[in-house]
Amino acid sequence: MNFNKVLDELPTLTFEQRQLLVRRALELDDLPLNEADEALVESRLAALRDAPASAVSLDDMKTRLRRK
């Protein structure tokens, strides 16, 4: 299916189908993490699972950053 055909079909898709299409398109731009970054993410997730109370909400973090 060529690009113009896809554009022509967009109005016929449901809202959920369009959301899925956008998510899939965005995933195509996601580069895989290198090993060091993957290890860092995994260690931080493990720390969060071990101490969930240590998490800071996005609103709290924004407030803290604005104070600096």
Same domain, residue pair 38 and 66:
yes
Q: Answer yes or no: do 67 and 38 share one domain.
A: yes
Query: How many structural domains is the chain composed of?
Result: 2
pLDDT single digits (tens) 16-55: 999 999 888 888 887 888 999 999 999 999 999 999 999 9
What gap in Å lies between CA 65 and CA 68, rounded to an integer? 5
CA-CA distances (angstroms) from residue 52 to 42, 46, 48, 60?
A: 15, 10, 5, 15
Q: Which pairs from 20-23 meet CB under 8 Å and 24+ separation?
A: none
22 and 41 share one domain: no
pTM over 0.85: no
66: containing domain: 34-68
